[in-house]
Amino acid sequence: MEKLKKKKNNGKTFTVLKKQIHQTLEKKFNTNKIILAYEPVWSIGTNKIPKINELNKIIKFIKNELKKNFNKKKSYKVLYGGSVNPKNIHLFSSISEIDGFLIGGASQSSKKFIDIIKNYYK
């Protein structure tokens, strides 16, 4: 995890994401059935989240990489996960590029999960 934090701090997020996309997805895949999720490793369970403008750029980058390498006309779906909770969901709701969320630890409590949904729509 420390190595990944260093990559983030060294500005290598986009390089790492591009490499992951290219190594994981093959051109023969049916991209109509693929939804990608972005979850920064340094954010999992830490209550630390990316800056909103940074996250917006990352999600756009992922979608553009998919368009460049697969179907240029398709609109790809990208979910965000990483310390999503009832207190910060309103920040994420302002990012139109995010198509949904992966709810980790907060989903273990029905109250927290319901509060995430309520706060998203406030």
DSSP summary character for residue 35: E
Give CA separation, 112 vs 67, 89, 109, 119, in Å: 35, 11, 5, 10
**CA dist., res. 101 & res. 1, Å (int):** 22
Crossing angle of the two packed helices 2-9 and 13-24, in degrees rounded to 10: 120
Which H helix or E strand runs over 25? none
pLDDT of res. 8: 52
- 10: tokens are 């060294």
Number of domains in the chain: 1
Q: Tell if the pTM clears 0.75, that is, is over it.
A: yes
pLDDT of res. 61: 96
pLDDT digits (tens, 9 = 90+) for 67-116: 888 877 788 999 999 889 999 999 999 999 999 999 988 999 999 999 99
Of the listed ranges 25-34, 55-64, 112-121, the one predicted with least confidence: 25-34
- Mean pLDDT score of the chain, rounded to an integer? 86
Q: The domain that contains 56 carries what CATH number? A: 3.20.20.70
Domain that holds residue 75: 2-120
